[in-house]
Amino acid sequence: MLTTPLTKLLGIRIPAVQGGMQWVGVPKLVAAVSEAGGLGLLTALTQPSPEALRAAIRETRTLTSKPFGVNITLLPSINPPDYEGYARAAVEEGVRIFETAGNNPGALIKYFKSNGCIVLHKCTAIRHAKSTERLGVDVISIDGLECAGHPGEDDIGGLVLMARAAKELKVPFIASGGIADARGFAAALALGAAGVNMGTRFMCTVESPIHRNIKDKIVASTERDTVHIFRTLHNTARVYKNKVALEVVAIERRPGGAKFEDIKDLVSGARGRKVYELGDPDYGIWSAGIAVGLIDDIPTCKELLERLEKQVAEIIGGLTQVVGASGSCPVSN
């Protein structure tokens, strides 16, 4: 048993959160993660409307009676979503756990807190973590440079970010970015995290809704197979290094730079979604963290979480024994 402040707060068995993932966080995956003892999160913006989110919440409840939550991410969008409408629909449906992420989350966090909800806020900088802590968030999900999607603009890796979080924050934090196996999971706990957030690892599970070709592509990839786009637009995103992503980077590097309009058609989420539907990894951009280099199988969520739970406990137990015996702590497995 890996009991931490996160497992106690959320009523889950293993301190692992399936982070919000556009087009991936749908009822089947969310329920599988929660059933397996972690926390599944429905991605609100994957649903076309607040009404559709209501239906997704109800569907998830038919699949699991365990706790699950809803992610709402506030970032630049081609069609700005009705964030308030999604938030209201989820609260009215009885959801009590939310993951917020992105820019200016204050109003959303206040709304959730005034409705008695637990809020995990994902951020990429200690200064942002401290300001959202003052807004009353319950858990900070601290996202290192390794992560898929939007890592912020500071380029601080998880090792330093987590140690800083442990020193600076009063609320529990979970480690996000670059975690896909027991070594990373145990390291996060050693750095003071109350748990981990995994995205790319859950994309590559049996219950994940993406095409089998993309799962196979993740298994075949190394840690060198992702790239940052939108760097010049200050909306950096780590995506899979495919033809479209490299074309976007080349346009951004042109003399004089690029405007969003120059790359809009290449990067649209609607096009990226087709990657997962068609199984063509070059059809559009798709999010992937450097944890792709750590993933070499497609387990069920239950197999994955049970394996992690066992191996993390072994690593922690091994460290305790070695430290007890010699005062040093090499990890040999």
Name all contacts of 263-269 with Cβ < 8 Å and 24+ positions apart. 263/229, 264/78, 267/229, 267/230, 268/78, 269/22, 269/23, 269/78
Sign of the CA dihedral 195, 209, 148, 310? positive
Closest separation in Å from C-beta 148 to ligand NAD: 8
Contact 39, 16 (CB under 8 A): yes
Dihedral of the alpha carbons of 114, 116, 120, 126, in degrees to the nearest 10: 50
* CA–CA distance, 318 with 258 (Å, rounded to integer): 51
Q: Could you tell me if 240 and 288 are in contact, meaning their C-beta atoms sit under 8 angstroms apart?
A: yes
Return the residue of 192, 269, 279, 299 that touches ligand NAD, per CB under 6 A.
269
Question: Does 132 sit near ligand NAD (CB under 6 A)?
Answer: no
- Among 7, 34, 43, 205, which residue sits at the site for ligand NAD (rule: CB under 6 A)? 43
Q: For the chain, report the end-to-end CA distance as a whole number of angstroms.
A: 20
Closest CB 72 distance from ligand NAD, rounded Å: 7
- Closest residue to ligand NAD in the complex (CB): 269
Task: Give the number of other Cβ atoms within 10 Å of residue 213's Cβ.
Answer: 14
Coil, strand or helix at 30: helix
What are 174's two structure tokens? Answer: 């979970």
Tell me the C-alpha distance between 139 and 174, whole Å.
7
Q: Which is nearer to ligand NAD, 70 or 161 (CB)?
A: 70
Q: Is 286 in the site for ligand NAD (CB under 6 A)?
A: no
Under 8 Å between Cβ of 73 and 123: no
Q: Please report, as residue ranges, which positions from 56 to 85 form the binding site for ligand NAD (by CB under 6 A).
A: 71, 73, 75-78
Q: Which of 21, 89, 140, 248 binds ligand NAD (CB under 6 A)?
A: 21
* Per-residue mark of binding to ligand NAD, 92-131 (x: CB under 6 A): ----------------------------------------
Span from 90-98, 156-164, 232-240, 314-322 in contact with ligand NAD (CB under 6 A): 232-240
Residue 45 sits in the site that holds ligand NAD (CB under 6 A): yes
User: What is the Cα Rg of the chain in Å?
Assistant: 19
Q: Which residue lies nearer to ligand NAD by CB, 78 or 107?
A: 78
Closer by beta carbon to ligand NAD, 34 or else 176? 176
Q: Which is nearer to ligand NAD, 148 or 315 (CB)?
A: 148
Count residues binding ligand NAD (CB under 6 A): 22
Stretch binding ligand NAD (CB under 6 A), from 20-28, 131-139, 187-195, 219-227: 20-28
User: Does 149 participate in binding ligand NAD (rule CB under 6 A)?
Assistant: yes
Residues of the shown chain interacting with ligand NAD in the complex, contacts defined by CB under 6 A: 20-22, 43, 45, 71, 73, 75-78, 149, 230, 233, 235, 237, 260, 267-269, 272, 287
